[in-house]
Amino acid sequence: KPEDFETAFLGFKVIGVKGLNITLPHKEKALKLSDLADEHAQSIGAANTLKFEEGRVYAYNTDWIGFLKSVGELLPDLKGKKVLVLGAGGSSRAVLYALRKEGSKVFLWNRTKEKALSLCKEFDCSFVEKPEEVLREVELVVNTTSVGLRDEDPPLFDYSKLEPHHRLMDIIYRETPLLKAGKEKGCLVKDGLDMLLYQGIESFRIWTSLEVPYHVVKGAVVEYLHGYLRA
């Protein structure tokens, strides 16, 4: 629970944990509780990777690296490309940071307008009242919300408006209704599993100074998931 995170954080320091991956909704709190943070975590305003060393906690963000490596398979060159980002949570911050570094023209939509406007000021992007306002002109759509975890979730926008030129990325680790609708329209689509793997590989390097090949990690995860589904 969010209210218990600080207690857990301090407990990990005491018992000698060497490293942690942090997930929602604790990424912003993790950054605030850490002793030092790298430039990326500071700029993003959230940490997903913690390293415990000599009594101090170092905060990093590897989500943005995971996103860039994963989305590169959909759209290798992001410079100057128009991108629609859906959502204004902790994961959105890393995506917006990565897109800004790559020189993309970013539009941001969120159901809570005030939160989106705040992020637009921070990451130099443009707020839209409805995704459909810019859908035809963007090349890439990135969903950073939790909508799609369940098939019965209401759609983020009218998916019938998708066109074959769209590339769709969803950070959820499954084929969501958004991605299914995109495939039916002839769009290139990608779920969030590779983003998870790439950020994890970078986190592992931070903790151990060891480089792990992507195919090794992907193979282990696929084998685990097959076993889990059979159980």
Active site residues: 27
Is residue 178 classed exposed, middle or buried when 0-12, 13-18 and 19+ CB atoms within 10 A define those classes? Answer: buried
Q: 111 by DSSP, 3-state: which?
A: coil
Token output for 40? 């990326």
Q: Report whether 128 contacts 83 (CB < 8 A).
A: no
Q: 144 by DSSP, 3-state: which?
A: coil
Rounded distance, CA 138 to CA 74, Å? 14
Is residue 183 classed exposed, middle or buried when 0-12, 13-18 and 19+ CB atoms within 10 A define those classes? Answer: middle
CA-based nearest residue to 85, from 165, 174, 173, 157:
157
Rounded distance, CA 1 to CA 228, Å? 25
Q: Which residues contact 17 (CB under 8 A, 6 or more apart)?
A: 52
Which element (helix H / strand E) includes 181?
Answer: helix 177-184
Which element (helix H / strand E) includes 148?
Answer: none
Q: What is the CA radius of gyration of the chain?
A: 18
